[in-house]
Amino acid sequence: MATATLSPSDTDKLSNLKSALATLNQITENEKSGFINLVGRYLSGEAQHIDWSKIQTPTDEVVVPYDKLEPLSEDPAETKKLLDKLVVLKLNGGLGTTMGCTGPKSVIEVRNGLTFLDLIVKQIEALNAKFGCSVPLLLMNSFNTHDDTLKIVEKYANSNIDIHTFNQSQYPRLVTEDFAPLPCKGNSGKDGWYPPGHGDVFPSLMNSGKLDALLAKGKEYVFVANSDNLGAIVDLKILNHLIQNKNEYCMEVTPKTLADVKGGTLISYEGKVQLLEIAQVPDEHVNEFKSIEKFKIFNTNNLWVNLSAIKRLVEVDALKMEIIPNPKEVDGVKVLQLETAAGAAIKFFDRAIGANVPRSRFLPVKATSDLLLVQSDLYTLTNEGYVIRNPARSNPSNPSIELGPEFKKVANFLGRFKSIPSIIDLDSLKVTGDVWFGSGVTLKGKVTVAAKSGVKLEIPDGAVIANKDINGPEDI
């Protein structure tokens, strides 16, 4: 820990924090030491400053184009061999609060009554059945999602898939004013704590005992992805490449569009591949970072990592990812959360690479506008649980969709559509105000629907709206 560079007042802060933590029995000794380590690094100001002139665009050896990956063997026995080395881990710590849901986000219904978790389980069940292998599914929960997830997982008890859950660390929020843990200030409920970002996946996998258990079963690689990314399915071409080339870490990246300008990107820096996030970019270079000319790819957060390498690096505490300070307010008290991101670990692994994958591998559902896309005729659902884009759409990119605050919560969103419109030929949709859609509506080209203040605007059943601005019934 970087105590050497701490000022006397910061040294005091840290030692007071240690004393305060000793009184908290809700967390383990591992969590306490991990937290002190994180805070010590933060106080020492060890944030890495990027020298802009040293940034280089990664070559095809470092960020491998997907179509340069070797084709797979046709032999099912070879496929089984690959799958026997694999573990799938979904980051399941998030709540569906943004979309007005209580409980884990992964239990929001995506399509045909199936949730994110149902689809993930169906996909792995299909692989296990087809190739006679046993790919396990791990869910990394947070203290927010743990209890609910355990109940939900019970319904898969009879499936041909081993499901394991473990929790990421639970750290106390820090009161900004005096750096005391919020739970010591009388806030002993859930609001006093936070999960420290998905960078915590590596130590938590180790501390839970799951890592050693997987290694003992001969597992070699873990595929880590967000549970809300419907495109994050097992891809054996990537796994095969990593095994052949002894790559310990691979981040899937995909070409940037104007919607992704804030996403982290991969760069070559002082001979190593690393993730560059917008927060690390000096102000005068932010526009350059956001341009899609210089930085053409962004991180999907689909990661493939060698399990033995995780063990080696966690044991020597080598994974010192950039710290992301996240200020919040709880009941009027200003607090600080210190977090890390799993993608930032790329620079610590040997022979780490990126894979420049098709956009279809990045289909996150962050808001109801994304739900509209995946529930529409733009996508179909296969029996194996895969959400596949409709080939009838000629435009390679998806329509841009903006829905007003009336549609923000899932329940309101579903209530305002009798059925999801056909959007195969839609370029963009913007909806504002008190708008309701009938069944069998078709939207094409650029469509704007704006209800006047205080007026309910209903789009009738079967309406076909192409390249129109609609402000009232007379415009339909």
Binding site, annotated residues for UTP: 105, 168, 197, 228, 366
Judge residue 250's burial from the number of C-beta atoms within 10 Å of its C-beta, 0-12 exposed, 13-18 middle, 19 or more buried: buried
Binding site per annotation, positions for substrate: 198
Nearest residue to 447 (alpha-carbon basis) of 146, 435, 93: 435
Q: How far apart are CA 112 and CA 386, in angstroms?
A: 12
Q: CA torsion angle for 286, 337, 31, 205 (degrees, to 10)?
A: -40
Q: Is 403:417 a contact under the CB 8 Å cutoff? A: no
> Which residue bears the tokens 């420290």?
196
Name, in order, each residue with C-beta under 8 angstroms of 19's C-beta and a sequence gap of 6 or more. none
Residue 265, CA atoms < 13 Å, CB-side half-sphere = 26
Binding site per annotation, positions: 105, 168, 197-198, 228, 366
Q: How far apart are CA 362 and CA 372, in angstroms?
A: 16
Interaxial angle between packed helices 116-131 and 76-83, expressed in degrees from 0 to 180 and rounded to the nearest 10:
130
Give DSSP secondary structure letters for 173-211: PEETTT--BGGGGT--SGGGEE---GGGHHHHHHHTTHH
Judge residue 67's burial from the number of C-beta atoms within 10 Å of its C-beta, 0-12 exposed, 13-18 middle, 19 or more buried: exposed
Q: Is 366:96 a contact under the CB 8 Å cutoff? A: no
Name the amino acid, one letter, at 214: L
Q: How far apart are CA 37 and CA 14, in angstroms?
A: 10
Nearest residue to 228 (alpha-carbon basis) of 373, 348, 355, 329: 373
Query: What token pair was written down for 298?
Result: 């962004």
Radius of gyration of the CA atoms of the chain, in A: 24
Q: Is 250:346 a contact under the CB 8 Å cutoff? A: no
Residue 83 three-state SS? helix
Name, in order, each residue with C-beta under 8 angstroms of 204's C-beta and a sequence gap of 6 or more. 140, 166, 167, 168, 169
In this structure, the chain runs to a length of 476
